[in-house]
Amino acid sequence: MTTARETAPSTAAGPSSDAAGGAGTALTPTPSGTTTRRRPRSAGWLAVLPLIVFVAVVFGLPAFAIVTKAFKTAPGAPGGVHWTTGNISQSVHGAYLTALWGSVKLSALTAAIGVLLGLPLAHAVVTSRFRALREAVLAASGVLANFGGVPLAFAFVATLGNSGELTRALHLGDHGWSLYSFTGLSVVYLYFLVPLMVLTITPALEGLRTQWREAAQNNGATTRQYWLHVALPILTPSLLGGFVLLFGSAFAAYATAAAIVGSSVPLITLQIANALSGNVLAGQGNVALALSLDMIVIAGVVMALYLPLQRRSARWLH
Amino acid sequence: MAALTPPATGAVPTAPGPKSVRRRARPRVWRGAVGLIAALYFLGPMVFSVIFTVKVPGEGFTLGSYTGILGADGFWDSLRLTLELAGATIALTLLLLVPAMIAVRLTAPRLRILLEVLCSLPLVVPAVALTAGIGSVLQWGPDDFANTPLFDTFNSIQNPDFPVVLLLAYVLMSLPLAYRTLDAGLRALDLATLVEAARNCGASWPRTVLRVVLPNLRAALLNTAFLTLALVLGEYTVASILGFQPFAVWIVSVGGSNAQLSVAVSVLSLVLTWVLLLLLAAAGRGRSHRSPRTSRGGAATAPVTVTVTVTVQENS
């Protein structure tokens, strides 16, 4: 707050001395343009400084710890603490590789299904004649996309868990259904991924102008042709962006999986948590950091793919 | 593909009437089917959760699991901790972001990129990985600073009554969504003109910010506050791995012994989230009626849309 106050008077120099021209403000009348320009810039820096410090400490320190400790041996290791690539190679072998692969598989599968289900749902919502319904569905999507984590897990345990209402009513257990499996987890993940897709793709669908459809129809295109040659090519960046975003969400999800399956489905987030809390072997802390580094790399790739796609798709929204 | 084209081109000029009618009727049926399936899938778990909590085998209908929440062990403590954390997170996030964003918009537009990068960084680090990093930083306390004054600092930020380390983590995690929400709010505002007008009328700087800028940002500030609150209410990852017990962690720990109770709490927390987001939507809509600027292109719902996409990564 102090910075805001400090910056405030100095920023005043720019607009008010130009526009008001000494109309009773207490500012010193500085005619030279250089001072009025230099001061505001430092004001901007001053106001951003607390944020920079905060991010440097709260984000920088953990990031530094991850990167350095991932390449060091554990404190109790024979031969003392020294640099090594052992943690990283351990993190992409054996059970950890299985977990990493499990996470990638689950995220890719649920993201793909999420895109496939989210698109028709969003289209149905966008083209609906009832404005109230549209707003209700979009608001509901906002809630449901946020509904990840613990409450979602318990809602599904109550519905499709071993003693869940639907499981007992339909005797799903006899047909081999289990919520605590890869398939079960996919069904749960879709619950927050499909609404997320609806939210992501809706602006793009709203950007599809009716004139384009009419133009296609006037030129004799069938609905199928319109979608294949006009709508889908325009939507492709948004769809890909949506897929990448969904993948990232599913990949980073921990609470839902932890509350539902414990550790019966191998996922990288669960493995990291296990290794951190010492549930497996002692001295796995640094491997957990190496696994975290793996995750950060994948998440970084995801963001690097998503941002340009989002910018590309934003072009059609105007 | 080529085989499809001739009949279609032939059909349009000869019979435009029936064709267009059919084209409109079919999507309506299809749309209804899609909506119905979606409604079943999305409402099902909620309806069954409620049934699960009010139905006790052998006893029939009862509200016991809901009344039992209030007296449950640890409920008030965890709720108090979560609400305190939420309040502190909202305050610190706004204090860090609002002055920075206003100053950058007014004086140093080039810093906007820096600001955006700073606020997007947390997106690259999933919550679990962040927790792993924080955990190993906290290890420095006993390992490297055991005999220095810093050791006390390390201990005090892990005080279970009010873990400052969680507050810091939550502020970091809420930066992306808070930035986007506030940015959307500022975008809908001609800040430079507004400030110039206020200054020309003789308002001091604090007065300009407090009485002119902030009231105009009301909807964006509310959005940010609500979404941050939702994030903190549902946060499980960081707290559970670091060994603290706010609300979400408490629900899971209770679930081990009393499934009905934890489902009941989940239902309540969903209702709470729902009410919060409805309030948020209402606040956004109220704003769009007053200023035509935000109503263009459904901008009133846009902040919610944008930011919601971000929260999921943190929360689930």
- Quick check: A264 contacting B, CB < 8 Å? no
pLDDT at position A283: 60
Q: Which residues contact A180 (CB under 8 A, 6 or more apart)?
A: A161, A162, A260, A261, A262, A264, A265
Instruction: Tell me the chain A residues in contact with residue B235 when contact means C-beta distances shorter than 8 Å.
Output: 149
pLDDT at position A53: 92
- Quick check: A158 contacting B, CB < 8 Å? yes
pLDDT at position B48: 86
State which residues of chain A have pLDDT below 70.
Answer: 1-41, 74-81, 146-148, 263, 278-285, 314-318
- Quick check: A299 contacting B, CB < 8 Å? yes
All domains of chain A, ordered by start, with CATH?
Answer: 1-9+33-69 (no CATH), 86-317 (1.10.3720.10)
- Quick check: B117 contacting A, CB < 8 Å? no
Distance CA B271, CA B67 (A): 16
Contact pairs from chain A to chain B, CB under 8 Å? 337
Q: Which residues contact B49 (CB under 8 A, 6 or more apart)?
A: A154, A155, A158, A159, B263, B266, B267
pLDDT at position A146: 66
Distance CA B47, CA B65 (A): 16
Q: Who among A150, A249, A276 is closest to B132 (CB)? A: A276
| Closest approach of A248 to chain B, Cα-based (Å) | 7
- 8 Å CB contact between A40 and A6: no
Give the position of tokens 């035509």. B292
Search chain A and give the residue with CA nearest B271: A143
- pTM, 2 dp: 0.77
Contact B35 A124 (CB under 8 A): yes
Contact B168 A295 (CB under 8 A): no
A residues 84-113 lying closer than 8 A (beta carbon) to B: none
B residues 25-64 lying closer than 8 A (beta carbon) to A: 27, 30-31, 34-35, 38, 41-42, 44-46, 48-49, 51-53, 55
Whose CA is closest to A69, among A45, A88, A51?
A88
The predicted-structure confidence for B27-73, as pLDDT tens digits, reads as follows 677 778 888 888 888 888 888 888 888 877 666 677 777 777 777 77
Distance CA B30, CA B27 (A): 5
State which residues of chain B have pLDDT below 50.
Answer: 1-22, 288-315
Whose CA is closest to A174, among A158, A162, A159, A184?
A162
Interface test with B, best of A18, A51, A123 (most B CBs within 10 A): A51
Search chain B and give the residue with CA nearest A4: B99
- 8 Å CB contact between B282 and A173: no
Give the residue extent of every domain in chain B: 73-315
The predicted-structure confidence for A8-19, as pLDDT tens digits, reads as follows 333 333 343 333
| Closest approach of B178 to chain A, Cα-based (Å) | 13
How many beta carbons lie within 10 A of that of residue A49, not counting itself? 13
Instruction: Tell me the chain B residues in contact with residue A52 when contact means C-beta distances shorter than 8 Å.
Output: 118
| Closest approach of B41 to chain A, Cα-based (Å) | 8
Q: Who among B114, B262, B312 is closest to A146 (CB)? A: B312
- Quick check: A222 contacting B, CB < 8 Å? yes
Distance CA A34, CA B76 (A): 59
CATH architecture of B73-315: Orthogonal Bundle (1.10)
